[in-house]
Amino acid sequence: MVTKPEEGRRRVVIEGVDPLVDAGRHPIKRIVGDEVAVRADVFADGHDALACRLLHRGPGEEAWTSGPMEPLGNDRWAGRFRVETEGEHYYTIRAWIDRFGTWREDLRKRAEAGQPVEQELVVGAGQVEAAAERARAAGAAHDAERLGELARVLGGEAGLPTAERLEEALAEETRRLVDRHPDDRFAVRREPALRVTVERERARFSAWYELFPRSWASEPGEHGTLADVRERLPYIRDMGFDVLYLPPIHPIGRSGRKGPNNAPADGADVPGSPWAIGAGEGGHKAIHPELGGFDDFRDLVEAAGERGMEVALDLAFQCSPDHPYVREHPGWFRRRPDGSIRHAENPPKKYEDIVSFDFECDDWRALWDELLSVVTFWMDRGVRIFRVDNPHTKPFRFWEWLIAEAKARDPGVLFLSEAFTRPRIMYRLAKLGMSQSYTYFTWRTTKRELSEYLTELTGTEVAEYFRPNLWPNTPDILHEYLQTGGPPAFRARAVLAATLSSCWGIYGPAFELCEDEPLEPDSEEYLDSEKYQVRHRDLQDADSLAGLIGRLNRIRRRHPALQGNRSLRFHPVDDPRLLAYSKRTADRSDQVLVVVNLDPFQPHGAALEVDLEELGLDPARAFHVADLLDGERYTWQGSRSYVELDPAAAPAHIFHVMRDVRSEQDYEHFV
């Protein structure tokens, strides 16, 4: 049964709002300074004109800021607003029957048809006088006075001829005055208001470098420290990275400790896995003694900041059996029937050195509070970025709560979700607040796989909440493509990761040194993985890709087109092993076209079909492209051009597309 509404005179319908995530259950995401473009279907019964306003407010604001929405046709309306501060913003749409606008348009049509308008002018005078009353009530004395004068003119009290009264009725000044004080008693507002999570620029544009501090000692055979990492920051900064990500730096348990290649240690003196967190020296709020102390950590954070970098910490909510939590809060962990603690498992895999929290335990509230305190503990020590280990194995509601609590403390804190799991789970975590997310990029190696997957991430609704961070390798993943393709494969994947997404990262120095030996055939595990032992490398290896990586990151910083993902477009090229795509700024002041040879073994060449309209190019005029990797430049005309890439020499072109280059100075500016 349909009940009578509380107010049946509200006739406007608002639907089809865009952007919108899950009917408004989750926020869209933007960066400080972004413009939020909003569209909606707004209509009513009959032929009355409508007034439509876009409302928005920022963090801590009570009053709404109102801006216009313009009709696009077919009952579609559009408006926009800019977000200038970090935090949670809100927006909604408010609309009502525009009685004065309806009257004014009808009056114009009657006049153009030569029909009498005397009585209609009197009707309009009443509407203008009502607007004057609303202006007086709002304290807008000047508007009230002017509207009163116009009402007398339209009503004939001023003694003007009908033609002059008609002119005043249709004047833009009259329209603007009435619009400032509309009859919106029966307005409809889209409820509830929609949310925008606004984060700082590094959430959208960043380059991550992962390292194990214990492997960064200056001499072979020594255990590296945080101080050693600090001394080698110039090496990382020279490659252009702005986020230094450290796996867990906490004390490592001895129970079930793993040795080289994940073999049981059997009492051997081995360092163990950093993810087996907790020992007699402390847990998640302690630093492994062999890495240094809190002064060393503070010095590392400060030194990184002086170089334009941030330190990101691994947030791994799991424990060694030796963790103080196991003794102090035994109810936070699952037990076997014999009373022994249950170690972590992902059958058939077993992790004897790790135990998992029981998020369904009776004391779950205290568990949640303690884990939040881990985050705030490190935030108090200068950490504003966390890489979240396996978040898909913890409750969704926990993450939604924890991230909201952390951001209430500091809206600039960022979270990278490491959830290599099913797509809906990955997307759900992003909706709940994860700032960035690992992706399936590591396993997407063909032209079709890459183009379809990146189009999904950047060209659909997914882009409203999911920010991809592309990693060609991690300590857990050495893909077959890198195992078999040699340095050309590493070079190609670096170009793809750095240019397909505005956020990318590598696990180094394994990546720049092209380490490609797996633990065993058909395995993605590294042989002699740093997860279980200390490694020492020669960072000055002549074959290192550090130079190429530094070049890629400099290109990214210099070209705004590569600092976002919404403009990513793929272009046809007549070879299945060549992938071509472009990115541009909204005003097309910066445009980059990338062509990558996906075959690490053979040269490939083919005709490239450039979408000239997408790049704003005139088909009748030549244009210039400059390869940002090697400095070569070319003049092209028309949509088809030939490209050829030999992986032994160069895996890719990164072209800067230029319409007009009149001098060498112009060229240097563009490149």
What is the separation of C-alpha 514 from the centre of its chain, rounded to a whole number of angstroms? 29
Q: 578: which strand partners?
A: 597
Show the CA angle centred on residue 579, arms to residues 577 and 582, nearest 5°.
Answer: 170
Range 142-145 contact pairs with CB under 8 angstroms and sequence separation of 24 or more: 143/177, 143/180, 143/181
Tokens at 214, concatenated: 């214990």
Side chain identity, residue 330: P
54 close to 81: Cβ distance less than 8 angstroms: yes
Nearest to 231, CA basis, from 241, 246, 216, 243: 216
Q: Is 522 a catalytic residue?
A: no
Of 418, 516, 575, 599, the active-site residue reads: 418
Spatial distance between the Cα atoms of 275 and 440, rounded to a whole number of angstroms: 23
Spatial distance between the Cα atoms of 318 and 320, rounded to a whole number of angstroms: 7
Spatial distance between the Cα atoms of 332 and 653, rounded to a whole number of angstroms: 54
Q: 389: which strand partners?
A: 418
Q: Is 418 a catalytic residue?
A: yes
Nearest to 374, CA basis, from 353, 389, 355: 389
Angle 118-137/99-112 helices, nearest 10 degrees?
160
77 close to 40: Cβ distance less than 8 angstroms: yes
Spatial distance between the Cα atoms of 644 and 459, rounded to a whole number of angstroms: 28
Of 389, 515, 530, 575, the active-site residue reads: 389
Q: First-to-last CA distance in the chain?
A: 68
Residues forming the active site: 389, 418
